[in-house]
Structure 1
């Protein structure tokens, strides 16, 4: 039996579909949701949301937000998503290396925070490329 999932930003519906399984990027790690999951509200980190339907995974890069699981419905409210239109493995790997160096060389707290956010996005892009290939 499938569950319904909706991914929403403040200005648009990103997707509204059914899923066999959903993996959310929680603040303390990944959260797997299957049919019949207990009710839950959780904060989401920047990372990769994965939706599984008919043995195929669909990745979506989220930029923070909240998720609500209620009976067989998952609603994901996010600040923004990143499109996965033209991701190449070589480009994504270079971005990840660049983001890692930026975190290591950041001198102020704000610079470290900004660099950490870019590192999370770069890591999510690499995971997404792996699911798409």
Structure 2
């Protein structure tokens, strides 16, 4: 049986589809959602949302937010998203190295925080490449 999933930002609907399985990037780790999941509201971290339908995974990079799971419906409210369309492995690897270097060289706590968000995005991009084939 499938469930409905909607991914929304403040200004647009990113996707509204059905899914067999959803994996959310929770603040304390990944949250897997299958048909019949218990009702839940959870905070989301910057990371990779994975939506599975008919043995095909669709990756979307989320930039923090909330998810509500209720009666086979998953609603994801996020600040922003990055949709992975065509990302080259070499480009994603360079972005990861750049983000890692930015954290190591950060001189203020704000710079370190900004760099850690970029590192999470770069890691999610690299992880998401595996789902694009």
TM-score calculated relative to the size of structure 1: 0.98
How far is the alpha carbon of 1:70 from its aligned partner? 0.2
CA distance in 2 between partners of 1:58 and 1:85 (Å): 10
CA RMSD of aligned residues (A): 0.7
CA distance in 2 between partners of 1:123 and 1:13 (Å): 24
CA distance in 2 between partners of 1:73 and 1:110 (Å): 37
What is the aligned partner in structure 2 of residue 99 from structure 1?
99
CA distance in 1 between partners of 2:111 and 2:73 (Å): 38
Q: Deviations over 1:58-86 (max 9, x none)?
A: 00000000000001000000001012223
Paired residues for 1:1-133 under 5 Å: 1-133=1-133
Structure 2 residue runs without a partner (length 5+): none
CA distance in 2 between partners of 1:56 and 1:114 (Å): 33
Structure 1 residue runs without a partner (length 5+): none
How far is the alpha carbon of 1:130 from its aligned partner? 1.4
Equivalent residue pairs, number: 133
CA distance in 2 between partners of 1:55 and 1:130 (Å): 14
